[in-house]
A and B are shown apart, each in its own frame.
Chain A
Amino acid sequence: MEELRKYVACLLQRVDGLLAIVITDRDGVPLVKVALDSAPDMALRPSYLSTFSAMATDQAGKLGVGKNNKIISIYSNYQVIQMNKQPLTINLIATKTANTGQLVNLENDLSVVVNDLAQAVVET
């Protein structure tokens, strides 16, 4: 688990402006959390992160264009990218000026971590 955390911490350095990577379950409970001090605390809370898997991604899947994979939310000061990796969610929190394309591309590198963790979640 510590090795996973170190790997995710390395990914945090890869994109300028990326402040936090949090891998959560459906309830927003963090399994892996790596964050800089400058990451907004509110965006790291389960009460916020759980809204993606509890509601947003399901509702987005009813728009008639297929299953929802990810939601990118741009706020005035930050951006949040949430990726559906059921039963888990990858959450990336970054500054508003961070390169969204590069952040989205981190999905490939984080999928390795998520696949391992998802096995553990299913088994328990």
Chain B
Amino acid sequence: MDKEVQKCVDDLMTSTGVVGVLCADKRGMCLTSQGIANPDYSGSLTSLTQLAAAIEPGKGDPVILFENHGSQCLIHQNAGMTLAVYKTNG
């Protein structure tokens, strides 16, 4: 089972601009991380998705975007799994 998850993450890492990917479970425990994604932050990333979902209950899981001058971090939770993708701009 983890081979399929890892394959998906490997495919994501080959996408243009992607420099890091992190997957976490509903408890905030890191399932896998690659690139610049730090597994220590899996708990905080999961917590952010739960807080964001509480802003508009019943409207589905939002996508969170952190953006700075040179990079972005996109975070989304689905079916209890949190996915964070780190990208560089351009």
Contact = CB atoms under 8 A, between A and B. Distances in A.
B46 A99 contact: yes
A102 B42 CA distance: 8
Interface in B14-69: 24, 27-30, 40-44, 46-47, 50
Contacts of A99: 27-28, 43, 46-47, 50
Contacts of B41: 105
A33 to B, nearest CB: 24
Interface residues of B, number: 13
A19 B43 CA distance: 17
The majority secondary structure among interface residues of chain A is helix
Contacts of B40: 105, 108
A100 interface: yes
Interface in A95-124: 99-105, 108
B55 to A, nearest CB: 16
A103 B46 CA distance: 12
A31 to B, nearest CB: 26
Contacts of B30: 101
Contacts of B24: 101
Interface in A1-36: 16
B43 to A, nearest CB: 3
A108 B44 CA distance: 14
Nearest to B82: A101
B29 A102 contact: no
A100 B29 contact: yes
Contacts of B46: 99, 101
Interface of B: 24, 27-30, 40-44, 46-47, 50
5 contacts: A16-B47, A99-B43, A99-B47, A102-B47, A105-B44
> Which 10 pairs from chain A and chain B are nearest by CB?
A101-B43, A101-B28, A102-B43, A100-B27, A99-B28, A101-B42, A99-B43, A101-B29, A99-B47, A105-B43
